[in-house]
Amino acid sequence: MRAPYDPIVLTAAVTGGDVLPSQSPAVPCGPDAIVEASVAAARAGATVVHLHAREADGRPTASPRMFTEIVSGIREQCDVVVNVTTGGSVDMTADQRIEGVVASRPDIATLNLGTMNFEGFPNPARWPAVRHEWEKEVLERSGSVVFTNTLGTIRRFATAFAELGVTPELEVYDLSHLSMARFLLDEGTLTGPVRIQFVLGVLGGAGGSPQDLFALREAADRILGTDLAAVSVAGVGYPGQLRLGAIAAASGMDVRVGIEDNLRIRRRRQAADSAELVAAAVAIAEQLERPIATPAQLRAELGLPVTA
């Protein structure tokens, strides 16, 4: 685990699969825009870019061709560690959700550890005005959304990662997911030490308070012990993203920011892009005298080849 002045691995989640493009012009849609947003985030200081794929109208897609285009476009323009989702969006099948990883062969891929309710728009009175029919369908499904991750799916994805040489990032939304990680380690599906990404503040998972973070961190240490390599923290929404990021940075954890999880840089101002959120996280880290880990440093930590 990290010491108080160790470098922070800073991840930029640049587009996601749940936020609606009608909510903000900062949501990049189409491969060119996603590449541009990723490169900007890397140049602002991100160690890692976490990727979903979207069509030109913003609809989430599992297209292997598009993931390959995005990943190759990023790698052509900058040096950054690439992390590809297997979360996709809640209406994708397991077969679809793994296709982008198989096609693009990223450095890291997410591994979600349990089935859960997953609500982004639970209050109809606060639904945003939207432009696209598919966005209306997303809003109308609110209250019936289940993010399905069976044990069979988790085992299948973890096995695929091992065969591809991709490092799993274990997405933890609640306490039960840590127990699942322990089970997978004990049966040999996963090999420790593992990397944890806490995602806090999604309705259906743990809350977004500092107390929720501290409780999960204590549980991770207790349940995973020496099989725990690093913990990263993603707070959903404003001010949770930057507040929890600051607490994580002050507590020896890594940090994730970006448009996927939060659209605001101030209470009453939306972020221009993920790069602006990355810059805010870099400033917090600098105040705490924790440098941002370089891609080369993270690759060495992951046992990956270090590019020149």
- At 254-266, the pLDDT tens digits run 999 999 999 999 9
Exposed, middle or buried, 68 (CB in 10 Å: 0-12/13-18/19+)?
middle
Confidence of residue 163 (pLDDT cuts 50, 70, 90): very high
Model pLDDT, residue 1: 73
Model pLDDT, residue 50: 98
More confident: 305 or 150: 150
| Domain range 10-302, its CATH number among 3.20.20.70, 3.80.10.10, 3.30.360.10, 3.30.1330.10 | 3.20.20.70
| Confidence check: pLDDT of 308 > 70 | no
Residues in the chain: 308
The string over 9-45, giving b where at least 16 C-beta atoms fall within 10 Å of a residue's C-beta and e elsewhere, is bbbbbbbbbbbbbebbebbbbbbebbbbbbbbbbebb
Dihedral of alpha carbons 128, 129, 132, 136, sign:
positive
* Rounded Cα–Cα distance for residues 127 and 22 (Å): 11
* Rounded Cα–Cα distance for residues 109 and 98 (Å): 9
Confidence of residue 307 (pLDDT cuts 50, 70, 90): low
| Confidence check: pLDDT of 217 > 90 | yes
Taking the domains of the chain in order of start, what are their residue ranges?
Answer: 10-302
Region 25-42: mean pLDDT is 98
According to DSSP H, which parts of 172-239 are helical?
A: 175-187, 210-224
* Rounded Cα–Cα distance for residues 207 and 200 (Å): 6
Confidence of residue 2 (pLDDT cuts 50, 70, 90): confident
* 301 to 2, 38, 43, 151, 167: CA distances (angstroms): 12, 22, 21, 28, 11
Q: Say if residues 255 and 274 touch (Cβ distance below 8 Å).
A: no
